[in-house]
Chain A
């Protein structure tokens, strides 16, 4: 048997006998250099957001004489019109943005993925009903729909989270549905049925692991878009409200100073760019890692 194994193994693409290198598809996902760069970028943003409040000055400490200053030793990124430390406020804003986005995107995935799987695996009627509802939600521009929802519910962080979850949910459902449609005819799904696996288990313990890699890409891209959406809605005054720091809110306050103190606009602007960009980079990297045509995935390494 051993010698048969060593002979036949060659025929399997990407086969490796080294137990230590036997990677799951998730590990392959993070093998791409772009994915690693994305991970580092997200890590830096997370570090600023999480560790910032611990080491930086109070973001709400007003120091009027020090208002509208550029970067200095006391205030690394300068101060706003109230003399508040900009770096502290950016860190606070990032933190708000990140948890809000992560929470709403997480909720979107938790609702969207099962919905998509049920649609993809279910009968024609179930699928048609779910698909049409999703299409209806998708027909609205993302930001506009979020705006409607917040306008209807009233401004506030919780309502913003609900709005974001709602607008991102269809993307997850659509992804899961198309994956499920492919998986329902897969040999191992039929085999699992033949072994007597109940339908619900086929969905969540047989099919779901195969949806995880593309889901990861969708998750990180969506968090990026959600940060952007959050900033936009806060800018419009529909999200986070002062005095709490939020990146969109800072941009809004900075509007009045664009000509006199442009630095005030640049700092939150760049922070948004970094936060969104790092999520996009991570998503792109994972996507590349999973794509065999780009040299990742299950190709011989």
Chain B
């Protein structure tokens, strides 16, 4: 990590406001720390409900009216939390772009694709004609084979993959320095997923853009990201360089995530799965939130919550009392699987 980070999220805690006075409300995200350098890619991984989208929305200032964020979200040295709508507007789109999960939902069904991009480009004060030209160029850049025709189409006439390409064109229309992609491939089929990931990686390279890629699939993220943060039940449980997290996961949860990916080769045809389901972040509990599902939990795990601790000097950190945790130190993988079944 060199120089000032582009994005620095520190102690981010998001709570849903209680309905009655005196009600503290439910915590959705607690003490999240993230850091991202210019031009780099950060992968945020976690199950549904782990709070990863909430973190993304906090950075964009798009949290719903019932949600309240505390802590700090610094973008390029400027604090973004608690800014008013007019103060956020010059940053949204122009400096931070966003791609959402369902491309069809994020495109306006009543407007031609070209018009939507043109209108977005024109927010930067460009002439109509120039903006139209830019729109077509953008559609070409995101890999649509016939940009002119795509520009004249309505979203419902495009395939899911093409819609997501259009959505990406929209998100980079104002040339942001950071792109936040919230599960951009989840609604797409596998082959298209790979193409969209490739496209994102290419755009990041060509435009020297930073990317926060949110996904529930550690494999998806590992192929593109420089760094990875694993979230569980509203907390970051592990973060570090992508290769380190992927190859030598330090937290039992990250390890289980990797284990649960179905494999085609190797001795075990079936994917191991985690017992039970994640504790929703809103449920208060003592100790490590993963402890009830953790095969290696010791008594201390259910009484005290482990802090994020340094695993090695490359910035690899994990929140586990049993560090350095490795599956071999706790019995080999086969045994691990047996104990789970």
Contact = CB atoms under 8 A, between A and B. Distances in A.
Contacts of A40: none
Contacts of B340: none
A197 B93 contact: yes
Given A187-B106, A190-B62, A195-B174, A14 B97 contact: no
A19 B123 contact: no
A194 B92 contact: yes
A186 B161 contact: no
A114 B119 CA distance: 20
Contact of B159 (A15, A23, A194, A209): A15
A204 to B, nearest CB: 11
Interface string B155-166: 011111110000
Interface stretch (A3-11, A96-104, A235-243): A3-11
Contacts of B191: 4
B105 interface: yes
A25 B85 CA distance: 32
Contacts of B144: 1
B123 A196 contact: yes
Contact of B105 (A8, A24, A186, A206): A186
A69 B156 CA distance: 60
Contacts of B149: 19
A1 B152 CA distance: 18
Contacts of A244: none
Interface in A121-141: none
A16 B157 contact: yes
A294 interface: no
Contacts of A199: 85
Interface string B86-126: 00011111100110101011111111000000011001000
A17 interface: yes
A12 B192 CA distance: 15
B170 A210 contact: no
A110 B154 CA distance: 27
B246 to A, nearest CB: 28
A205 interface: yes
Given A12-B160, A15-B156, A210-B108, A196 B90 contact: yes
Contact of B100 (A5, A7, A191, A197): A191
Interface residues of A, number: 39
Interface in A1-43: 1-2, 4-5, 7-9, 11-17, 19, 22-25
Given A186-B105, A187-B105, A5 B92 contact: no
A78 B18 CA distance: 76
A255 interface: no
Contacts of A187: 100, 102, 104-106
A148 interface: no
Nearest to B85: A199
Nearest to A5: B159
Given A12-B156, A196-B93, A1 B145 contact: yes
B167 interface: yes
A198 interface: yes
Contacts of B152: 19, 22
A61 interface: no
B39 to A, nearest CB: 21
Contacts of A198: 89, 123
A209 B159 CA distance: 22
Interface string B46-63: 000000000000001010
Given A191-B100, A194-B98, A11 B159 contact: yes
B13 interface: no
Contacts of B109: 25, 188, 210
Contacts of B189: 8
Given A4-B191, A8-B189, A11-B160, A25 B110 contact: yes
B110 A24 contact: yes
B100 to A, nearest CB: 6
A206 B111 CA distance: 8
B133 interface: no
B222 to A, nearest CB: 24
Given A12-B159, A194-B98, A195-B171, A209 B93 contact: no
A214 B154 CA distance: 19
Contacts of B62: 190, 193-194
Given A191-B100, A194-B60, A212 B110 contact: yes
Contacts of B170: 191, 195
Most chain B CB atoms below 10 A, which of A13, A14, A15, A193: A193
A195 B120 contact: yes
Nearest to A8: B159
Given A191-B170, A195-B174, A198-B89, A14 B156 contact: yes
A194 B62 CA distance: 8
B143 interface: yes
Contacts of B97: 194-195
B105 A188 contact: yes
Given A12-B160, A15-B157, A196-B94, A4 B106 contact: no
B173 interface: yes
A186 B109 CA distance: 11
A17 B94 CA distance: 33
Given A12-B157, A19-B153, A188-B106, 11 more contacts: A5-B161, A8-B162, A13-B156, A22-B153, A24-B110, A187-B102, A190-B106, A192-B120, A205-B119, A206-B111, A210-B108
10 contacts: A15-B156, A19-B153, A22-B157, A186-B105, A187-B100, A187-B106, A193-B92, A195-B93, A195-B123, A196-B91
Nearest first, the 4 A-B pairs at minimum CB distance are: A196-B93, A187-B105, A8-B159, A195-B93
